[in-house]
Amino acid sequence: MAKQDFYDVLGVAQNSSADEIKKAYRKKAMQYHPDRNQGDDAAEQKFKEAGEAYDILKDDQKRAAYDQYGHAAFEGNGGGGAGGGGFSDIFDEMFGDFNGRQQSGGRASRGSDLRYNLEISLDDAHRGRETRIRVPTSVSCETCSGSGAKKGTKPSTCGTCQGHGKVRASQGFFTIERTCPTCQGEGRVIASPCGDCGGSGAVRKEKTLEVTIPEGVEDGMRIRLSGEGEAGGRGAPPGDLYIFIAVGAHLLFQRDGADIFCAVPIPMTAAALGGSVEVPSIDGSRAKVTIPVGAQSGHRMRLRGKGMSGLHGKGRGDMYIDLQVETPVNLTKEQKGKLQEFQDTLKPTGKGGGKSTSPESEGFFTKAKELWDDLTD
């Protein structure tokens, strides 16, 4: 079944502001929250869908990717967090931190989400790669199959709350509902806990996971591995693992979206006379660039289609070459003399009928002189 458009889920237009999206999400979360709709599977699903939609649309980078590629931007390993994820700021504001804790209706708690920071090179971000990570986490206990009860026994219904996970007490005109103190809100008690997990249903373990880094991934993006977070309490579903991508600095290139920039030093003679230079590209090939006669520092040239891969390999950016004219250093006495002879041959504007060889510097000092003259008048 095709996923519903995230903007339709929240009931907002695609050009809605961040504040409008936040307000729409709060309204949906209040309307479909499980505490208000106990036992209503349809409401719970809408609650999760609203959370997933907001998790994408509240983030400028992910929203831009979704606007361009739709749900395909987060297919496979990639994607935003599910509703009720551990990164939801609105839920904490309205209902407290419910992720990884007791849910309503006497159910065991969903496992906590985990975060893993992964640094990759700019080359890996361009090409994409498969990598293996090791994550310390908790997994379902194999001895008791996650139930928390000793093998051959089962958890029993809590006699205090009758399996509801909550108890009520009347105080005057008010009725107060609170978490059952006997079962801690799970609705079940374990008389004979499992010896391996101590009744929690989970044990500590380091997992090795294969992760696919998509082409064109950017710094700060995150990848979700569904169900690879902490194990849930006593058979409850596990949380998710979020991999946060950090793209390391490159020796030659700087990145801006899908475009890359490279500062290329050239000799003073090449800048004056023109010529050509070979520059590397992010894919490992070389490109020959023609240096125009009279090139100045900061002169920029574009190589179309030589930049970064787009997300999931869709399209490719450009590469920009910024020329940096290098002034010669460590000159010998003879070289200095020849440069002085060359300097003596340069003609200022209007002398000898030729054009100025340094129009920018002459123009600057002419304007500076006019400014000084104005100040002294």
Task: Check if the beta carbon of residue 92 is closer than 8 Å to that of residue 101.
Answer: no
Residue 103 · residue 84 · CB < 8 Å: no
* Yes or no: domain 250-331 corresponds to CATH 2.60.260.20: yes
CA atoms within 13 A on the CB side of 140: 15
Q: Where are the beta strands (DSSP E) in the chain?
A: 114-120, 129-140, 156-157, 166-171, 174-179, 188-189, 202-213, 222-225, 241-247, 253-256, 259-267, 275-280, 286-291, 300-303, 319-326
3-state secondary structure of 46: helix
Rounded Cα gap, residues 224 and 135, in angstroms: 14
User: Is-contact 128 215, C-beta < 8 A?
Assistant: yes
Taking only the tens of pLDDT, the chain with its 377 residues reads 567 889 999 999 888 898 899 999 989 888 888 778 888 888 888 888 888 889 889 888 788 878 777 776 666 444 333 333 333 344 444 443 333 343 444 455 788 899 999 999 999 999 999 999 999 988 888 888 888 888 888 888 888 888 888 888 776 666 778 888 888 788 888 888 888 888 888 888 899 999 999 999 999 999 999 999 888 877 778 889 999 999 999 999 999 999 999 999 999 999 999 999 999 999 989 999 999 999 999 999 999 999 999 888 788 999 999 999 999 999 999 999 999 998 888 766 545 555 777 777 667 767 777 777 766 65
Residues of the chain with CATH 2.60.260.20: 105-155+190-248, 250-331
List phi, psi (to 5°) of 68: -85, -40
Per-residue pLDDT at 101:
40
Torsion, Cα 79 83 87 90, to 10 degrees, reads 130
Query: CA 53 to CA 45: how far, in whole Å?
Result: 12
Q: Locate all alpha helices (DSSP H) within 58-101, ordered by sequence.
A: 60-69, 89-95
pLDDT of residue 377: 59
Q: Top-level CATH class of 1-99?
A: mainly alpha
Q: Is 283 helix (H, G, I), strand (E, B) or coil?
A: coil
* pLDDT at res. 348: 60
Fold that domain 105-155+190-248 belongs to in CATH: HSP40/DNAj peptide-binding domain (2.60.260)
- What pTM, to 2 d.p., does this model score? 0.58
Q: In Å, what is the CA distance from 264 to each residue of 59, 284, 295, 323?
A: 35, 16, 12, 5
Task: Return the residue matching tokens 């009279």.
Answer: 294
Outline which parts of the chain fall under CATH 1.10.287.110. Answer: 1-99
Contact (Cβ atoms closer than 8 angstroms) between residue 26 and residue 54: no
Greatest CA separation found in the chain?
109
Q: What is the dihedral of CA 125, 126, 131, 134, to 10 degrees?
A: 0
